[in-house]
Amino acid sequence: METHDEASRNSKEEVAIVLDYLPNGYPFEQKPGQRAQPMVQALGKEHLSILELVPKRDMFFQPQEEIYIGEGKRDKVHHVVGKISMDRLTPTATTALEEVLHTIVKKNEQRFLKFFNIAQPLTTRMHSLELLPGFGKKHMWQLIEARDKDQFKTFADLRERVHLMPDPEKAVVKRILLELEGNEKHKLFVKG
């Protein structure tokens, strides 16, 4: 059984992907005479949280660079400020976010494919598969029927066996973006 400390530790991000690096901090939030604090906007790789990070002195960050932000010794990050909402992202970070999400979904296909293989109804009238953009009852029933015969091995396998279905990778990315906007009642992919 997991203790409270283990659960808390497991809910924290270990690695983040840089969305934007602001070496001079946020341009519109500086007070007269105040020195700007450098800031990094990043996406947590595991829980898909949008984070604000304070870099260590004299560090530089590349777009989409993976950086360690866990509890151990951090090479480039001084501390994690916390989670931020999508509306706090810079235009550069907003543009990078979708591309980073596509990369994460592609590189972790089995992690996201698992959702299609185990998704269950939320209520008697709504199935969690229907929360994916472009998925309706018809796709849901075709998908359930196909997975009952054999679990899906890849996204290509899923597309081949469920006809006229929206691209599952794109649907997952769109759903993650909706969850990050913070207006979704049910979270399928974003934790916390």
Q: By mean pLDDT, which of 11-15, 47-51, 79-83, 116-120 is the weakest?
A: 11-15
Q: What is the mean pLDDT of the chain?
A: 89
Bridge partners (DSSP) of residue 44 are: 16
Which of helix, strand or coil describes residue 49? coil
Identical fold between 4-86 and 108-181:
no
Amino acid letter at 167?
D
Q: By mean pLDDT, which of 23-37, 73-87, 123-137, 148-162 is the weakest?
A: 23-37
- What residues does each domain of the chain span? 4-86, 108-181
CATH 3.30.230.80 fits 108-181, yes or no: no
**pLDDT at residue 86 above 70?**
yes
Distance CA 142, CA 147 (A): 9
Q: 1-29 pLDDT, tens per residue?
A: 333 333 344 568 999 999 999 998 887 76
Cα torsion 25, 43, 180, 92: sign: positive
Q: Please provide residue 53's backbone torsions phi and psi, each rounded to the nearest 5 degrees.
A: -125, 145
CATH tag for 4-86 (out of 3.40.50.850, 3.30.70.890, 2.40.50.140, 3.30.390.50) = 2.40.50.140
Which of helix, strand or coil describes residue 139? helix
